[in-house]
Amino acid sequence: MRNTLPGRLFLLLLLLSAVFFSCSGKSRIADIAFPPTYVVEARNRFVVVVHPYAALRDQPGESGVTIGHCRKGDVFELTGTRFVESGGNQMLWVCLEGGWILRSSVILFSTRAQAENAAAGILAKDASGSD
């Protein structure tokens, strides 16, 4: 098979057009806004509040309005999660039956029974005064 000049020119033109049209520095990928994730699996569906007193908000983030309160040892079903940027940091918020709370304020469990057992242990530990 002979390499012909028109064949080489065609391949060179094809290569140059691919480089020209695909390597543009003008466009930039924008930040991706993920929708809230809804729990669809059986793992980590229940939470136990670990802070003595925590606010439940109407939306995730510090701008959310307090719509309720919960206490250490309260058990809730987890209904969703969302990352929210605050002060340059990504913070994970979890949606419970009564509102949104920071992920660091809760411990996750697969079943309600596990969560209730852990909550009883947390409260008993607090009542006895041990760490």
As a dihedral over the C-alpha atoms of residue 62, residue 67, residue 71, residue 77, rounded to 10 degrees, the angle is: -90
Share of the chain above pLDDT 70, in %: 78
Q: For 82, what's the count of Cα atoms within 13 Å in the CB-facing half-sphere?
A: 17
Average the pLDDT over 16-41 and give the result. Answer: 61
Measured CA to CA, the distance from residue 85 to residue 128 in angstroms comes to 39
Please report the pLDDT score of residue 29 as a whole number. 59
> Over the stretch 44-92, which tens digit does the pLDDT of each residue have?
789 999 999 999 999 999 889 999 999 999 999 999 999 998 888 889 9
> Over the stretch 117-130, which tens digit does the pLDDT of each residue have?
999 999 998 888 76
Domains of the chain: 28-128 (2.30.30.40)
pLDDT of 40 > 70? The answer is no
Please report the pLDDT score of residue 25 as a whole number. 59
Measured CA to CA, the distance from residue 76 to residue 116 in angstroms comes to 10
Q: Mean pLDDT across the chain, nearest whole number?
A: 83
- Higher model confidence: residue 50 or residue 30? 50
How, if at all, do strands 89-96 and 53-57 pair? unpaired
* Total count of residues recorded for the chain: 131
Phi-psi map region of 118: left, alpha, beta (phi>0 left; psi -120 to 50 alpha): alpha
Question: How many Cβ atoms sit within 10 Å of the Cβ of residue 83?
Answer: 16
